[in-house]
Structure 1
Amino acid sequence: MKAVILCCVLFLTGCSGVKNIQDLTYIVAIGMDFDETEEEYIVSLQGLNFANVAKQEGAKSVDPVPIFIATARGETLNMAVSKLYGKSEPPLYFGHVNTLLVTNRLIQSKASEVLEEIGRNRSLRPTMKVFTTEEKIEDVFNTPALFNYPAIYTVLFKAKISQLAQNELKAITMMDFLRDYYEPMGTAKIPSVKIDESSWKANQDYPILYLNGFSTFQHQEYKTDIPLDHAVIINWLTEKGISVDRRVEKAGKLAAAVRLGEPKMEIMYDETADKPKFSIEISVSADLLEKIQKDLTMNGLKKQIEEDIKAKVESIYNEGVENKLDILDAGEKWYRKHPKQFQQLKKNRTFYLDQESLTEMKVNVEILHFNSYKFKRSIDGEL
Structure 2
Amino acid sequence: MKRILFILSFILFLTGCAGKREINDLAIVMAVGIDKADDGQVEITVQVVRPADSRGQTGAPSGQTGDPIWAASSTGQTLFEAIRNLSTFSSRRVFWAHNYAIVISEDYAKEGIQEVVDFFTRNPELRMRTWVMVTPEKASEIVSTLSGIEVIPGEAINKLFRYTGVSVQAPRTQMIDLQAALADKSTEPVVARVQFINKGVSNKKPGQAGSIKQIELAGAGVFKGEKMVSVIEPKEMKGLLPFIEKPETGMMVLVCPDDEKKKISLELVNQRFKVTPNVRENQPVFTVDYSVIGSLVESPCAFTIKNTSQMKDLEKQVEAQLKNHVERVVKIAQSETKSDFLHLGEIFHNQFPVEWRKLEKNWEIVFPDVLVEVKTTAEINDSSLLFKPAKK
Query: Structure 1 length as normaliser, TM-score?
Result: 0.82
1:5 corresponds to which residue? none
1:193-245 Cα shifts (integer Å, max 9, x gaps): 10111454442401110110111123444321111111244224532252112
1:214 corresponds to which residue? 220
Q: Are residues 249 and 82 of structure 1, via their aligned partners in 2, closer, same or farther at CA, if it must alter by over 3 Å?
A: same
More displaced stretch, 265-274 vs 187-196: 265-274
**1:16-165 → structure 2 map (5 Å cutoff):** 18=20, 20-35=22-37, 38-52=39-53, 61-63=57-59, 65-147=67-149, 149-154=151-156, 156-158=157-159, 161-162=162-163, 164-165=165-166
1:345 aligned onto 2:359: yes
More displaced stretch, 127-136 vs 238-247: 238-247
**How many Å apart are 1:351 and its aligned residue?**
3.2
More displaced stretch, 15-24 vs 255-264: 15-24
Q: Are residues 278 and 232 of structure 1, via their aligned partners in 2, closer, same or farther at CA, if it must alter by over 3 Å?
A: closer
1:299 corresponds to which residue? 312
2:271 corresponds to which residue? 263
Instruction: Classify the secondary structure of the residue corresponding to 1:126.
Output: coil
**Amino acid paired to 1:209:** I
1:222-270 Cα shifts (integer Å, max 9, x gaps): 3211111112442245322521121114697554211113421122222
**Amino acid paired to 1:276:** P
2:9 corresponds to which residue? none
**Amino acid paired to 1:325:** S
Q: CA RMSD in A?
A: 2.9
**Amino acid paired to 1:227:** E
**Amino acid paired to 2:365:** F
Question: What is the CA–CA distance in structure 1 between the aligned matches of 2:35 and 2:76, rounded to whole Å?
Answer: 11
1:3 corresponds to which residue? none
Query: Structure 2 length as normaliser, TM-score?
Result: 0.80
**1:271-290 → structure 2 map (5 Å cutoff):** 271-290=279-298
1:378 corresponds to which residue? none
Unaligned runs of 5+ in 2: 1-13, 60-65, 304-308
Instruction: Classify the secondary structure of the residue corresponding to 2:288.
Output: strand
Question: What is the CA–CA distance in structure 1 between the aligned matches of 2:76 and 2:29, rounded to whole Å?
Answer: 19
1:316-353 Cα shifts (integer Å, max 9, x gaps): 21122112133432222111222232222233364333
Question: What is the CA–CA distance in structure 2 between the aligned matches of 1:32 and 1:107, rounded to whole Å?
Answer: 9
**Amino acid paired to 2:198:** E
Identity of aligned residues (%): 21
Which of 235, 239, 249 lines up with 1:229 in the alignment?
Answer: 235
**How many Å apart are 1:298 and its aligned residue?**
1.3
1:6 corresponds to which residue? none
Q: Does the aligned pair in 1 maintain the 2:101–2:154 contact within 8 Å?
A: no
Question: What is the CA–CA distance in structure 1 between the aligned matches of 2:80 and 2:92, rounded to whole Å?
Answer: 20
Q: Are residues 349 and 318 of structure 1, via their aligned partners in 2, closer, same or farther at CA, if it must alter by over 3 Å?
A: closer
1:240 aligned onto 2:240: no
Question: What is the CA–CA distance in structure 1 between the aligned matches of 2:192 and 2:155, rounded to whole Å?
Answer: 17
Instruction: Classify the secondary structure of the residue corresponding to 1:100.
Output: strand
**Amino acid paired to 1:362:** K
Q: Are residues 237 and 193 of structure 1, via their aligned partners in 2, closer, same or farther at CA, if it must alter by over 3 Å?
A: same
Instruction: Classify the secondary structure of the residue corresponding to 1:332.
Output: helix
1:191 aligned onto 2:192: yes
Q: Are residues 79 and 220 of structure 1, via their aligned partners in 2, closer, same or farther at CA, if it must alter by over 3 Å?
A: closer
1:173 corresponds to which residue? 174
**Amino acid paired to 2:352:** H
Unaligned runs of 5+ in 1: 1-11, 376-383
Count of residues in correspondence between the two structures: 355
1:357 aligned onto 2:371: yes
**How many Å apart are 1:169 and its aligned residue?**
2.8
Question: What is the CA–CA distance in structure 2 between the aligned matches of 1:38 and 1:145, rounded to whole Å?
Answer: 30
Question: What is the CA–CA distance in structure 2 between the aligned matches of 1:246 and 1:169, rounded to whole Å?
Answer: 16
Q: Does the aligned pair in 1 maintain the 2:103–2:143 contact within 8 Å?
A: no
Instruction: Classify the secondary structure of the residue corresponding to 1:122.
Output: coil
Q: Does the aligned pair in 2 maintain the 1:21–1:51 contact within 8 Å?
A: no
Q: Does the aligned pair in 1 maintain the 2:295–2:380 contact within 8 Å?
A: yes
Instruction: Classify the secondary structure of the residue corresponding to 2:332.
Output: helix
Q: Are residues 273 and 176 of structure 1, via their aligned partners in 2, closer, same or farther at CA, if it must alter by over 3 Å?
A: farther
